[in-house]
Amino acid sequence: MTTFLLLPGAGGEALYWSPVADLLRAAGHEVVAMDLPADDPTAGLTAYTELAVAAVAAVAGRRDVVLAAHSMGGFTAPMVAARIPVRAIVLVNAMIPLPGESASTWGDAVGSEPARLAAASAGGYAADVDLVDTFLHDVPAEVLDPAVVANGRDEAEIAFTEPCAFDRWPDGGIRVLVGRDDRLFPRDLQIRVARERLGVEAHVLPGGHLLPVANPQAVTAHLLAVAAG
């Protein structure tokens, strides 16, 4: 049995991992899907890391830990991995930081905004960041109600400005999953960043930015493959 630690992106809500968590539990694994205090102005990456480490420690009889992080959860992932042994890290449409980088400076460093605008122009969709057009365009309403998302928590500024405190990414055991139709972090941007910063070739899956709810079967299949070694 593997323990899967699922870290959310900005907003800190575990519901974005819910379909994947259900599939992993049905396959017989332990799942820790984190709800993080994203709207707490005093709780940043260090606080998220402490909560994640404590949640994994509370799992009775845990064995292998596979850490999966979505979107901004990529900034918490290396800090958690520096604190507890993890068998693998799976990054899902995730921001991939360098040591000491902050989420507020990541976009300029990797060129995410020019890439997003160019992808919108090439794809013929709106360039503005919009709840429905950017995030929910491929997610059925019965899976994730737009009203629920609209009432979600905003990420406090501290999480964007706090440096990501880790020394280096592991040399191996990292898998990068990219949504082919991600409108926030376009596919080609993510593929390039994974190569440049991790030396990893990304796996491209059908789906947009909210890949764990847009295509939970494919994400789960990759997580189970990692668990199987």
Structural domains of the chain ordered from first start: 2-227 (3.40.50.1820)
pLDDT digits (tens, 9 = 90+) for 96-119: 999 999 999 999 999 999 999 999
Task: Please give the average per-residue pLDDT across 120-139, as a whole number.
Answer: 94
pLDDT tens-digit map of 145-201: 787 787 788 899 999 999 999 999 998 899 999 999 999 999 999 999 999 999 999
Spell out the residues 6+ positions from residue 149 whose beta carbon is closer than 8 angstroms to its own: 131, 135, 136
Q: How would residue 64 be classed by pLDDT, with cut points 50, 70 and 90?
A: confident
Name the DSSP letter for residue 131: I
DSSP class of 151:
T
Q: Are 46 and 162 in contact (CB under 8 A)?
A: yes
Q: What is this structure's pTM?
A: 0.96
Gap between the Cα atoms of 195 and 54, Å rounded: 32
